Amino acid sequence: MTDIETYYPSPFLKAADLGGEQRLVTIAKISPPVSVGMGDDKKPLIHFDGAPKPMVLNVTNFLTIKAMYGSTDTDWVGRQVFIVPTTTEYQGKVVPCIRVKPGVPTATPEQPLQNEPPPPPPPEKPEKPAAPMVWGGATPDANVQ
């Protein structure tokens, strides 16, 4: 039996293209919005170095990248992100999708990424004020005359 994607391949990167694994990718460029799907729905495309096709940049992934690298898409070029195959609810059905995840890269772009990014470091604890140093049983101020 032939997979329907054989007859109607998508021009955009899909969750199935990731082979069930997250990937560390480098952003190459952002293209202006194009028609995707049915109707007048237009979305920008995000291109990754070495990827065979661009990914549709939906609002969820846009907001994730914006939080990581700022609101100017030209600042995103050359930056790395994880793309992860997962699922989402769309029109009452659970469907495959790709999500962008922030994280510290744990592999180089030449190496396939096979594990999750490390968890963020714990929040820093506020430092306690240092107690006055005691010399010979008395504080330094006790010897001042």
Written as six digits, the tokens of 14 are: 């899909």
* Within a domain: 136: no
Confidence of residue 137 (pLDDT cuts 50, 70, 90): very low
What are phi and psi for residue 82, nearest 5 degrees?
A: -95, 135
* Within a domain: 8: yes
- Beta partners for residue 89, in sequence order: 94
| pTM score of the predicted model | 0.67
CA angle 121, 110, 104 (to 5 degrees): 10
36, amino acid identity: V
What is the pLDDT, as a whole number, of residue 8? 84
* Within a domain: 57: yes
* Within a domain: 124: no
Written as six digits, the tokens of 9 are: 């391949």
* Within a domain: 33: yes
- Beta partners for residue 80, in sequence order: 26
Q: How many domains does the chain have?
A: 1
* Within a domain: 104: yes
Output the average pLDDT for the chain.
79
The whole domain housing 34 covers 4-117
pLDDT surpassing 90 at residue 38? no
What is the pLDDT, as a whole number, of residue 134? 38
* Within a domain: 138: no
Nearest-angstrom CA–CA distance, 145 and 127: 32
Confidence of residue 103 (pLDDT cuts 50, 70, 90): low
What is the pLDDT, as a whole number, of residue 130? 44
